[in-house]
Every structure is written in C-alpha cells, then in structure tokens.
Amino acid sequence: MTSDEQKATGPSEETKRKFREALERKNTAAKQREGESHLDGGSSAQGTHGPVDHKREFRRKSG
C-alpha cells in the first residue's frame, strides 16, 4: 500500500486532531457541570392544564 492509498482509505491526521479537540472540549465542559443540582432549570410540566374554575360533571347517557 502506498502512502496515497493509505490517505484515501484512512482518516487524515487533521481529522483525528479535530475530533480529539472536540472530545477534549466536551469532557472539559462536562467536568465544569459536575455536581450541579439543576436548580436553575424549571419543571417542564408547569401549566399543563388550564385554570380549573368548576368541578367536572359526569352524567349518564339517557336513552
């Protein structure tokens, strides 16, 4: 296999370097967030129902 064939089939060193740098940034960001208690985020279930101004009535079907 010549060096030209090897470059065509395998990833280049520049691509490997970019992926390594991206992984490093990801791991650094994850370490900074470690131990957070998510107090700044709210629940996504707020206001799921409209205002309840009367009790719901259930009636039997007649006929």
Sign of the CA dihedral with 43 first, then 47, 49, and 51 last: positive
* Reported pTM: 0.41
pLDDT for 2 beyond 80? no
Tell me what the mean pLDDT of segment 27-43 comes to. Answer: 74
Share of the chain above pLDDT 70, in %: 52
DSSP 20-51: HHHHHHHHHHHHHHTT----SSPPTTTT-S--
